């Protein structure tokens, strides 16, 4: 008689995402001073595992959308701290606190409005997008690669209405995802 053993339970998505994030940190700590494309790949995979319901938009698709005069621009929500915002942000964006409620992020706004949220690498924006969708907002996306990817591609950034080229690195560790020519100081 063959003994059938049940398969061990699978790790919940959140635990898997945390493990992937820990792996990213481990890889980066042994790597060169710059973060590799592999580390960005792991970060993106971790975000998609932790936030499977979030829809993403590429930097190229968002740039095309913003330049299309025949299409209404989305509401851009910058989900970073005031210190990060003060260095630079996407032109036309509005800053919201990372832990704000959906009601505070988009007060008196129709639930079918187009929204694109972004932060430094994706976690805070994905958390807000999840809260917005739970509150009934139906057209919410996160910027794939976040403001770091946007800046690395030398897309428009602003501060007080003026063009700038640097982005707040968030932390020394995560700042490795920024090219040297766009990385601001802490």
Q: What is the pLDDT of residue 37?
A: 83
- Residue 186 covered by a domain: no
Q: What share of the chain has pLDDT > 70, as a percent?
A: 81
Mean pLDDT, residues 13-20: 58
Q: What CATH number is given to the structural domain containing 156?
A: 3.40.250.10
Lowest mean pLDDT among 1-5, 91-95, 113-117, 146-150: 1-5
Domain range enclosing 58: 54-177
What average pLDDT does this structure show over 94-111? 95
Task: Give the DSSP per-residue string, 69-112.
Answer: TTSPPPEEEE-S-HHHHHH-B-TT-EE--TT--HHHHSTT--TT
On whether both 81 and 154 belong to a single domain, the answer is yes
| Total number of domains in the chain | 2
Judge if 154 and 130 occupy the same domain: yes
**Which residues fall within 8 angstroms of residue 14, CB to CB, at 6 or more apart?**
50
Inform me whether the pLDDT recorded for 57 exceeds 50.
Answer: yes
Quote the pLDDT of residue 21.
60
DSSP label at 115? E
Place of tokens 């499977």: 52
The pLDDT value given to residue 39 = 86
């Amino acid at each position: 008689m063959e003994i059938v053993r049940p398969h061990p339970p699978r790790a919940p998505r959140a635990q898997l995402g945390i493990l992937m994030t820990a792996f990213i940190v481990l890889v980066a700590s042994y790597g060169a001073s710059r973060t590799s494309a592999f580390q960005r790949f792991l970060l993106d995979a971790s975000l998609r595992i932790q936030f499977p319901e979030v829809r993403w938009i590429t930097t190229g698709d968002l740039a095309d959308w913003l330049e299309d005069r025949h299409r209404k621009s989305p509401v851009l929500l910058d989900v970073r701290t005031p210190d990060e915002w003060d260095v630079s942000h996407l032109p036309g964006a509005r800053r919201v606190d990372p832990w704000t409620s959906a009601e505070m992020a988009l007060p008196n706004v129709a639930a079918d409005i187009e929204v694109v949220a972004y932060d430094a690498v994706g976690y805070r924006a994905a958390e807000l997008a999840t809260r917005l969708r739970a509150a009934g907002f139906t057209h919410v996306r996160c910027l794939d690669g976040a403001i770091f990817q946007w800046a690395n591609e030398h897309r428009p950034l602003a501060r007080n209405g003026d063009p700038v080229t640097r982005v707040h690195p968030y932390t020394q560790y995560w700042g490795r995802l920024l090219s040297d020519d766009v990385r601001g100081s802490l």
